[in-house]
Structure 1
Amino acid sequence: MKVLHVITGLAAGGAEQQLRAQLPYMRADCEVAVLTGSGVVAEAIEASGVPVHRVDMRGNRDLRALGRLARLMRAGRYEVVHTHLYRACVYGRLAARLANVPAIVATEHSIGKELIEGRRITRPVRALYLASELLGHVTVAVSPTVADRLATWGIPRSRIVVIANGVDARAFRYDPRLRERTRDALGLPREAFVVGGVGRLEPGKRFDLLVEAMLGLDDTFLLLVGAGSRRLQLENLARALGVDRRVIFAGESPDTRAMLSAMDVLAAPSQEETFGLAIVEALAAGLPVLYDTCPAVDDLPRDAAPGARRVTPGRLGAELKEMASTRPSRLTPPGAVRLYDIRHQVDQLEALYRRLLGAPGNEERR
């Protein structure tokens, strides 16, 4: 079975890292097509031996990229095209139709109440998404929360399959020696208490709340891992508050395990999450987690993730101050991590591919 994964970009974001994590466990012959700039995740995927095709899309209205993508699909004779993220879903599903690909799957990673991948959900954005959805065969929702939102948009439940994101617990296992090396490389004192934030530096992640919390946390450091349009604003905020010496911007990192090993707590103040992959990865690393929204935890029984606690923005600073004074020890990865084992996720995805390819009249489905 030959599969082409189409994704908008390959910088270090949740959907991108999830694709990277899946590929080593897939039995199918997989390749990746990236529409826009690639980044560290593309390099890591190529280093693992998986081909990455760069479509070099110049903007949202670059229709020539559609032709290049369709030609790639025809030449590659892919049996399955699996799209990820908004722009890739819009262009990838249409290109797959033009190339007569037998099975077209999309994964919805980041549809929120008001935002989809950081952009405001306007009527045109929603209409284009729904029109492109009709060109595929099934949409995978990464959580029941996402499935409910898709259904609210008007997508029939019969076209939605819930397959949760997966985590390879071994890939995030805490390593005290790696912790020391990473702290040394980042200029973090070995004995300091370090609050971590992982994700795109965009408004929806609300990392400004973490920078502001540093004002009341003497001798505590903040480690932000990720890139995005808000970096300069966050740097200016840290400087204005006089905490810039204690806020470390690590940028994109292909080694999430090293970054999580360097932290003492992960804080995730985002109000709009469709899964919360960074939170599950942090739990796999034995970190306590303070979060605002996380379907990956909230959709489970209460005792499945005892290390993760929901904290309102107004309480975040006080909770972090308490943790900095008590220095909680590293935790044993909870049951939630086992429930989201990436091998189980990949098995479900490949079973879905086989079902679509084996369904009679698949090419006639809307």
Structure 2
Amino acid sequence: MIGPEVVHVVCTEAFAGVERYVSTLARWQDDRGTRVLVLGGDPARMPTELAGTGIDWRPAGTWRQAARQLRGTRPAVVHAHMTAAELAAVLTARAPVVATRHFAERRGSSLPARTVGRYLTRRIAAQIAISAFVADRVEGTSVVAHPGVPVLPPATATRRPVVLIAQRLEPEKRTDLGLRVWAASGLGARGWELHIAGTGSLRPELETMARRLGVGDSVRFLGARTDVDTLLSTAGILFAPRGDEPYGLSVVEAMAHGVPVVAGAGGGHSETVGSVPEAVLVPPDDPTAAGRMLAALADDPARRARYGAALRAAQQERFALDTHAAAVESVYAEVRR
């Protein structure tokens, strides 16, 4: 049996932004004839995402599981995502290791972990950062390659008076700030709704918060969704409240759909949404001002149409999947040389 040319390693049993990135890039590579193996990700979701392709998938929820799988392979490149995957790859892979840095922080939060981090940094052949924001905050030299999404045809569905938040309901994503901005905007009293797609540990707390802020009737918690593209095709605005988001793949997906985006100023948002002159980047530390900016955009349909079109054009030019994947392939070629 012919082995894989590229092995992607992500030592989780989840399917969030990193795992979605891995499945998207792996499918692109498979479409172009590369033999790909993916280790890790949600055992229920990842095989579904890769169905109908030639990609081999195997479970690897820990670095030890990934290491056992890697010992039996001889790929041209191992592409590791997050520290546990990097450790498995460096210890066992008989191939150059490329690491994508998905988070704006150095390896290791304790002294032992930082020691491991220094060991990994010396042994990784090349490093890709998903944004300049990330590259500036991690150790080592990085090639900045903004993750891309497929270019889509123009939207035909009617947009609804809905502000959509699509993200995990965990503290770092700042959905609580999103609720405060929503309450300050007053849009709930003017026929708009806030739809929150995603699941996480904070959902009960956020539901209570919505009622306490007096906007419970205009906020809908949609739970985990596999049809985010459908939600984006009809949403009036996408709201990404976090101001230090490392990148924000859902923002780029919204751009591909031509959805106007309101995003917290800073982080990767400055490189994606902020790449167009019409960008609506709101102060993450001032919910009142952010609410006014959100409401002003919602109240101006012509402005929303222009802004959405500008974002879609920017995605096609700078944040397409082909552009990102070609940059990754260039890194592979360099480490193989």
Whether these two folds match at TM > 0.5 is: yes
Do 1:282 and 1:289's aligned partners in 2 also have CA atoms closer than 8 Å? yes
What corresponds to 2:119 in structure 1? 131
Give the Cα separation in 2 of the matches to 1:264 and 1:10. Answer: 33
Query: Residue 276 and residue 86 in structure 1: after superposition, are their counterparts in 2 closer, same or farther (change >3 A)?
Result: same
What corresponds to 1:29 in structure 2? 35
Q: 1:1-366 counterparts in 2 under 5 A? A: 2-9=5-12, 11-26=14-29, 27=32, 28-34=34-40, 37-57=42-62, 66=64, 68-96=65-93, 101-112=94-105, 121-150=109-138, 153=139, 155=140, 157=141, 160-170=142-152, 174-176=155-157, 191=160, 193-215=161-183, 216-217=186-187, 218=189, 219-296=191-268, 298-299=270-271, 304-313=275-284, 314=286, 315-327=289-301, 328-330=303-305, 331-332=308-309, 333-358=312-337
Supply the RMSD in Å over aligned alpha carbons.
2.8
The CA deviation at 1:229 is 2.0
The CA deviation at 1:128 is 3.2
Give the Cα separation in 1 of the matches to 2:272 and 2:238. Answer: 19
**Sequence identity of aligned pairs in percent?**
28
Give the secondary-structure state (helix, strand or coil) at the position aligned to 1:266: strand
The CA deviation at 1:15 is 1.9
Give the secondary-structure state (helix, strand or coil) at the position aligned to 2:193: strand
Give the Cα separation in 2 of the matches to 1:121 and 1:201. Answer: 23
The CA deviation at 1:337 is 3.6
Do 1:194 and 1:223's aligned partners in 2 also have CA atoms closer than 8 Å? yes
Do 2:238 and 2:254's aligned partners in 1 also have CA atoms closer than 8 Å? yes
Give the secondary-structure state (helix, strand or coil) at the position aligned to 1:46: coil
Higher relative contact order (CA 8 A, sep 6+): 1
Give the Cα separation in 2 of the matches to 1:306 and 1:3. Answer: 39
Residue ranges of structure 2 left out of the alignment (5+ in a row): none
Give the Cα separation in 2 of the matches to 1:301 and 1:309. Answer: 8
Give the secondary-structure state (helix, strand or coil) at the position aligned to 1:236: helix
Give the Cα separation in 2 of the matches to 1:250 and 1:125. Answer: 37
- Could you state the TM-score of these two structures normalised by the residue count of structure 2? 0.83
Give the Cα separation in 2 of the matches to 1:275 and 1:213. Answer: 21
Query: Residue 353 and residue 319 in structure 1: after superposition, are their counterparts in 2 closer, same or farther (change >3 A)?
Result: same
Letter in 2 for 1:253: R
- Could you state the TM-score of these two structures normalised by the residue count of structure 1? 0.77
Do 2:102 and 2:246's aligned partners in 1 also have CA atoms closer than 8 Å? yes
The CA deviation at 1:32 is 0.5
**1:188-226 C-alpha deviation (Å, 9 max, x unpaired):** xxx5x2111122211121111222334333132111222
Residue ranges of structure 1 left out of the alignment (5+ in a row): 58-64, 180-190, 359-366
Give the secondary-structure state (helix, strand or coil) at the position aligned to 2:39: strand
Give the secondary-structure state (helix, strand or coil) at the position aligned to 1:321: helix
What corresponds to 1:187 in structure 2? none
Letter in 1 for 2:123: L
